Amino acid sequence: MTERTFSIIKPDATERNLTGKVNAVIEDAGLRIVAQRRIRMTRQQAETFYEVHKERPFFGELVDFMTSGPVVVQVLEGEGAVAKYREVMGATNPAQAADGTIRKLFAKSVGENSVHGSDSLENAKIEIAQFFTDADIVG
Ligand code: RTP
Ligand code: MG
């Protein structure tokens, strides 16, 4: 089934000018970038986005990191896009990520791990709606 998932290229990757290299891995995997915008996340946006993690010990650090520099928010489209992008990203901890994955190639640490991808179709819809309207997405 053709799906859409939500992606963020995180500040550690934009800082090292890796946007194009990350996008090349995404496109080589057969995913289509159907919306994309470079933004500076506000604390409010980051706190809302990571609400599910608010009781976790790393929440403060995570919000600090996600607001520390520009990010690129994206909508990716393709066959089974949610699961496919999770596979392309690799494990949360780059030390455990498979060869060829974005996190293996580029991530600095478990916190500064270069990309976000939705973990379910339901969350993808919620996350896309936090940053894009239907008119922004051109499939
Ligand atoms: P994401 O939501 O960013 O796509 O990453 P994920 O599903 O692979 O990982 P998740 O468990 O949802 O954690 C969200 C983000 O929080 C940061 N984190 N830091 N210091 C830590 O132990 C720790 N654990 C997670 C990472 O940036 C992770 O991507
Ligand atoms: Mg997650």
Confidence band for 24, pLDDT divided at 50, 70 and 90: very high
Site of tokens 């974005």: 102
Q: Whole-model pTM? A: 0.97
The residues lining ligand 1, judged by C-beta closer than 6 Å to any ligand atom, are: 53, 58, 62, 92, 110-111, 113, 116-117, 119
User: What pLDDT score was predicted for residue 85?
Assistant: 99
Cα Rg for the chain, rounded, in angstroms? Answer: 14
Mean pLDDT to the nearest integer, 8-22? 99
Question: Rounded to whole angstroms, what are the CA distances from 61 to 34, 44, 47, 69, 110?
Answer: 30, 14, 11, 14, 12
Q: What is residue 115's predicted lDDT score, i.e. its pLDDT?
A: 98
Alpha-carbon span 40 to 2, nearest angstrom: 30
| Residue (of 61, 54, 74) closest to 14 by Cα position | 74
Pick the closest to residue 75 from 1, 17, 113, 130 (CA basis): 130
Stretch 108-131: mean pLDDT, rounded? 98
CA torsion through residues 20, 25, 26, 29, sign: positive
Q: Is 89 left (phi over 0), alpha (psi -120 to 50) or beta?
A: alpha
Instruction: Tell me what pLDDT residue 93 has.
Output: 98
Atom of ligand 1 nearest to the CA of 50: 14
The answer to whether the annotation marks 2 as part of a ligand binding site is no
Please give the positions annotated as active site.
Answer: 116
- Ligand 1, atom 3: closest residue by C-alpha: 116
pLDDT digits (tens, 9 = 90+) for 67-84: 999 999 999 999 999 999
For residue 72, which of 26, 110, 29, 125 has the smallest C-alpha distance? 26
ipTM of the shown complex: 0.93
Q: What is the pLDDT of residues 34-65, one digit of tens each?
A: 999 999 999 999 999 999 999 999 999 999 99
Place of tokens 């690129």: 72
Average pLDDT of the chain, as a whole number:
98
CATH 3.40.50.80 at 2-134, yes or no: no
Helix 81-89 / helix 19-28 crossing angle, nearest 10 deg = 130
Shortest-distance ligand to the CA of residue 62: 1
